[in-house]
Every structure is written in structure tokens, then in C-alpha cells.
Amino acid sequence: MAVTLQRGNHKILEYHLKNTDAKPPYETLEIGTPLDYTNDVYRVYFEVPDATHEAKKIISSFLGQKRSEKIVTLAHGYEVELPIQCIPDVIRLLTHANIAVYQVVRYAKTNGAWA
């Protein structure tokens, strides 16, 4: 997908939103989307009410002991690192425990890998 910035009839800037040189090639189209089934890890914010710390327990259990040590507690939720395809699973676990999920924000890909 190309994005072009124009002023009148003059092209000022054009750039492409996919990298056709990436290896393996499927990453060029699916990276950072619901079709991303790579081991790539993203920083994700879950906004949840958690007066009893039940949400943190659920997220920690999903991540496992070692990964849960990296959970960042914020005023209204938690930041974690996990693959994009795990986000719906965490939401399902939280809502199954009757914990409202007010917002999920996927930040940039990190250098980590889910292995």
C-alpha cells in the first residue's frame, strides 16, 4: 500500500507501508495483524479494574512465572509482552472471570521472541 502526500498537483512525498524484502515474505503482509502467527512479541496494555489483583493473577498465570516478572503495573491496568495472537486469549480469560476490559493497546514490536 502506497501513501502519497500531495500539494495541488505536486507530489511531495510517497512511501510504501510494506517491506517486500522481509524474510520470510509472509511477514510483509501479516506482521502486526490478527494474521501474525510469528513468535514476535509486542508490548500490550490491558486497561482493567483490579482492586483485588485478580486480573494480574490471571495475566501472570497466562504468561508464566518468568514472563510475569516483567509485568508493569500502571494506574488503570498492566503492560505486558506477548505475541499478538495471544491478546484474544487473555481477554477471554479476564472476561470469563467477570473482569471488564476497557481498553487494549498494542504498542510496538519488541526484540523478544515467544519461545
Q: What DSSP line would sit under 26-48, residue for residue?
A: THHHHTTSTT--SSEEEEEEEE-
Cross-strand bridge partners of residue 46: 78, 104
- Its pTM stands at 0.73
pLDDT category at 11 given cuts 50, 70, 90 is low
2-113 is classed CATH 3.40.50: no
Amino acid type, 110: T
pLDDT tens column, 40-80: 899 999 999 999 999 999 999 999 999 999 999 999 999 99
Q: Is 20 helix (H, G, I), strand (E, B) or coil?
A: coil
